[in-house]
Structure 1
């Protein structure tokens, strides 16, 4: 049982950014992935979450093929972006952003007061105070907004969470907080792929660290 990329290749026109890359993210573990800019880390993140199909190779989630639809992620997966501002709707208050996955579930998800209560609980879990929830993304710090994105990821209840440079825009204190929250998530059984340029952070945070250059055939 794991999130597996099996000999994945990614091309943009004539440019090959990934060739035959393979890795496995196990439940309850944090796998760190590093490598230079332009080496295909973000492309691999999109492929692993179903936002982009691989040009070659396959992706499996717990031995089942990854479901890919343009612009939509497989429900078993979550993605935490490096830029929380780009990943959130500036027209939405924070409580609605956190509750977005509930709406995506339709009738099977919590609605109304129940959804609001669940969103407030998740906000408390990631260290957001109730007074922040009626604010908009441009009214809070980058660290607070990234916590909102973590809470939204928790609301989606993914089996695996791919984190693409989730602390790149944060200060040291916010970085430590986000890493701690994601470690708690892994301790609850979620498989976490942590992509970062920060080798020291990954060495302290991840159970194992690999360089993307080591993934190719």
Structure 2
């Protein structure tokens, strides 16, 4: 299980306060809420990229004590962000971006998994569409076979057909590996179809 317990987190001041949730193996948990409610902050905490002010994150019963730098736990969680162009070094080809976590991985197999054609692999981000780049980002996220996958508004920049295709890839990955998925979206229709359960965050009260 990927568990957040009583998480309070933010930057100069808290954005989320006392949030708890659990993502079990093989389960998809959705997260919805208005802009400013802290969805992406919670995603970064669960992805072990942002240390909360208080509360704990645990992975399969082991409490996380170090954020960003504990490789054994960090590789258990894959993450896919909203804006693929901010997630990839613009100097990299798609091949290099996919291979970044594990240089000796079979890039062609990963590209095939996300339906990314071979002719695109030697192009750079500015030479492909948002959908093609997000496919590469998904391949990169799956390269280390994470037990949990966090999708932070991953479909915002995509059309309906690309969204459906990427969700289908993630579902197939879950069926194969029994991975848990934490899916954040403003699209309630998508979450209703995709998630087993959806948690809703409220906008913070004005201070």
TM-score by length of 1: 0.87
Give the equivalent residue in structure 2 for 1:102.
102
How far the C-alpha of 1:68 sits from its partner, in A, is 3.0
Q: For 1:143, what is the secondary structure of its paired residue?
A: helix
Give the equivalent residue in structure 2 for 1:77.
77
Give the equivalent residue in structure 2 for 1:204.
193
CA distance in 2, matches of 1:35, 1:43: 12
Give the equivalent residue in structure 1 for 2:56.
58
In the alignment, structure 2 segments of 5+ residues that lack a partner are 203-207
TM-score by length of 2: 0.91
Q: Is the 8 A contact 1:10 1:16 kept in 2?
A: yes
How far the C-alpha of 1:139 sits from its partner, in A, is 0.7
Q: For 2:123, what is the secondary structure of its paired residue?
A: coil
Deviations 1:21-70 (A, max 9, x none): 00000111111110001101100011111111110100000000225344
Map residues 158-169 of structure 1 onto 2, 5 A cutoff: 158-169=146-157
Map residues 1-217 of structure 1 onto 2, 5 A cutoff: 2-13=1-12, 15-66=13-64, 68-70=66-68, 74-103=74-103, 111=104, 115=105, 118-188=106-176, 189-213=178-202
Q: For 1:58, what is the secondary structure of its paired residue?
A: strand
Query: Could you tell which deviates more after superposition, 65-74 or 201-210?
Result: 65-74
How far the C-alpha of 1:11 sits from its partner, in A, is 3.3
Query: Could you tell which deviates more after superposition, 69-78 or 203-212?
Result: 69-78
CA distance in 2, matches of 1:43, 1:11: 7
Q: Is the 8 A contact 1:50 1:67 kept in 2?
A: no
CA distance in 2, matches of 1:67, 1:166: 28
CA distance in 2, matches of 1:190, 1:11: 27
CA distance in 2, matches of 1:154, 1:181: 10
CA distance in 2, matches of 1:130, 1:36: 39
Q: For 1:37, what is the secondary structure of its paired residue?
A: coil
CA distance in 1, matches of 2:64, 2:89: 27
Aligned length: 199
Deviations 1:135-172 (A, max 9, x none): 11111110111100111111121111111000001111
CA distance in 1, matches of 2:138, 2:111: 9
CA RMSD of aligned residues (A): 1.5
CA distance in 1, matches of 2:172, 2:65: 27
